[in-house]
Amino acid sequence: MRTSSPSELRGNIKKYLDLSVNEKITTQWDGNENFVQAHENYLEPDEDLRRAVNAQELLAGIESDIRKAYREKYGHKA
């Protein structure tokens, strides 16, 4: 993490914006307040998320698999 003064940040804003892509930049104001500048990433839904199931769907699938395994083992309805 890098630290800058407000005047240093003002005079070199492009430099600090470029640096903030990979690290946090702290600017101390009046010796009492710190401001942190950091790059923010947004995650996009991917194929795994689109294929995800909710808890109710998961339980229904599990129940179905258990019933099928029971029928195969014991030869009758569960």
pLDDT for res 44: 77
pLDDT digits 0-9 by tens, 36-65? 888 887 777 777 777 788 889 999 999 999
Residue 55, classed as helix, strand or coil, is helix
pLDDT for res 43: 73
Q: Answer whether residue 78 shows pLDDT above 60.
A: no
pLDDT for res 11: 94
Q: Is 78:71 a contact under the CB 8 Å cutoff?
A: yes
DSSP-derived secondary structure for 5-42: -HHHHHHTHHHHHHHTTTS-EEEEETTTEEEEE-----
For the chain, domains (ranges, CATH) are: 2-37 (3.40.1620), 42-78 (no CATH)
Q: What is this structure's pTM?
A: 0.47
